Structure 1
């Protein structure tokens, strides 16, 4: 990894130039919406989302400019054309994918899908090991398309509302070990670092070197989640696994979460500047094959 970092330092002018002295960031966990799917609601910290879809897009773009986010993996919805050069297109998946395998492979070949996910199988009572995902995973392995998997928890009480089949137990990353073994060249990143199962995430990363994770909502949600985040990062550092952890904001409809998550990661004094640079940028460059 050290040799890769030295090599990549030479490529900053190609991948993303420093903006007003702010070093580039790659966000591997962004969500887009449409006029129909966008909603206004308070976040966990009480901040209300922007009053309109257009204002939401504007605020997201402003945050990305402010913090020099040069690339972002986006699943679902759309952003304005001004964001095209920054967006790495994913496909939001809950249950069976919205396109069949023929369409999926065509979209992959055309570069319109570069990440399979976010896969929120947990919300419909499934895991990535369910047979409905097998043909898609084969295509992903063949074309080196990363899989972004939701893990951990969800909004409190979500099983009583829009996701009656949601279960916390389905968010355990160990449940996808069969997938990891069956597709040894498949690139997977565990979103939210496994949440409450973060130690299982570390176990998977220790045993399978092609498994990465992102931090997602762990960086800006409050309460117990913040305890998991610091412990996860401390243990990852001790286990020499920080080189496979990536920054992801997962702001959903709350653009302020981007700023909050960046500031939170930057506040951990036990992480060196090199540690933070790797998480904010270089680990994602390596994982997403952005070297060229």
Structure 2
């Protein structure tokens, strides 16, 4: 179905406003390095994969579907846009993403199995902060094995923790031993909360529960582990009031903007970020991409923050680097 002209026009306008200035500013920055960026939510993929397709970021809407038909695996509107993001050529994904990490001066918290993360450490030396979670291949990782990853093998963040996809609360006692380990070792944890399934969780992920993305479900966990540092992935979208309530009550909680920043209508994305900042929590909002499939997703996501007219230059730098550096306890002097 051909999209309404107003949607095409809006997407073209967004391209001109949102991506071009970022590309120009970095392209012209040849005599000095771009200011550092910390991406706190990045996946250790090997390749874009055979099923990857071009994608229009910041979809204008999520479409309904009919269970009597063959339903698409995502609900993004089928529309034309500029820029359209393309998967990498076969075998080129890591090389393409690392080139952009160098160009944009990005250091990323890369999540995956220890083996997959080490591949990225080798590909992008000095630009990877290794992270790994307590689930792999559909099973829980033995606690002693996870302890070794953090205490001996140099992993720095526990994540991604995707309990919401299983319909499990982060405060469920069945996983408490893992959070106890993180608190003991002073390792921050990154927990998926909020968005998921691209408008088709009912079709693709039968165990996903939107209710398990409620940020207030973290309260019992935080009460049991008061020194735990928590990164709420996707900023608990769309539950902004509950997210603000949790942030107000728990000063060790930060949020990342990953996934949210490019997979929802741009006006809605900006409104959500603005609510977080205007609510008084501008020092706990961290940049992330949820880097997947499309190499240029990183540059596009950075441009959303760079072109946010409701943010001051200082607030932009806080989101793109300073807040994450504080959360991860990175020495500012070590910035590239």
Determine the structure 2 residue equivalent to 1:10: none
Choose which of 45, 57, 60 in structure 2 pairs with 1:33. 45
Determine the structure 2 residue equivalent to 1:249: 289
CA–CA distance in structure 1, aligned partners of residues 172 and 156 of structure 2: 22
CA–CA distance in structure 1, aligned partners of residues 170 and 145 of structure 2: 20
Note the 1:120-131 alignment, pairs <5 A.
120-131=162-173
Q: Do 2:38 and 2:321's aligned partners in 1 also have CA atoms closer than 8 Å?
A: yes
SS of the residue 2:92 aligns to: helix
Give structure 1 regions of 4+ aligned residues with deviation exceeding 6 angstroms.
none
Determine the structure 2 residue equivalent to 1:150: 192
CA–CA distance in structure 1, aligned partners of residues 31 and 164 of structure 2: 39
Query: Is 1:83 equivalent to 2:94 in the alignment?
Result: no
Q: Do 1:19 and 1:68's aligned partners in 2 also have CA atoms closer than 8 Å?
A: no
User: How much is the aligned-residue C-alpha RMSD, in angstroms?
Assistant: 2.2
CA–CA distance in structure 1, aligned partners of residues 240 and 50 of structure 2: 30
Once the 2 structures are TM-superposed, how far is the Cα of residue 185 of structure 1 from its aligned partner? 0.3
Q: Do 1:190 and 1:211's aligned partners in 2 also have CA atoms closer than 8 Å?
A: yes
Q: Do 1:28 and 1:246's aligned partners in 2 also have CA atoms closer than 8 Å?
A: yes
Count of matched residue pairs: 269
Once the 2 structures are TM-superposed, how far is the Cα of residue 136 of structure 1 from its aligned partner? 0.8
SS of the residue 1:179 aligns to: helix
Q: Return the TM-score normalized by structure 2.
A: 0.74
Query: Is 1:140 equivalent to 2:177 in the alignment?
Result: no
Once the 2 structures are TM-superposed, how far is the Cα of residue 176 of structure 1 from its aligned partner? 1.5
Choose which of 273, 278, 290 in structure 2 pairs with 1:238. 278
Unaligned runs of 5+ in 2: 1-29, 57-83
SS of the residue 2:315 aligns to: helix
Q: Do 1:31 and 1:252's aligned partners in 2 also have CA atoms closer than 8 Å?
A: yes
Tell me the alpha carbon deviations over residues 85-112 of structure 1, each in whole angstroms, 9 at most, x when there is no partner: 2111111455876421111111111143
Choose which of 44, 54, 59 in structure 1 pairs with 2:96. 59
Once the 2 structures are TM-superposed, how far is the Cα of residue 131 of structure 1 from its aligned partner? 2.0
Q: Do 1:198 and 1:228's aligned partners in 2 also have CA atoms closer than 8 Å?
A: no
SS of the residue 2:194 aligns to: coil
Q: Return the TM-score normalized by structure 1.
A: 0.85
Note the 1:136-285 alignment, pairs <5 A.
136-154=178-196, 155-161=198-204, 163-223=205-265, 226-285=266-325
CA–CA distance in structure 1, aligned partners of residues 102 and 49 of structure 2: 22
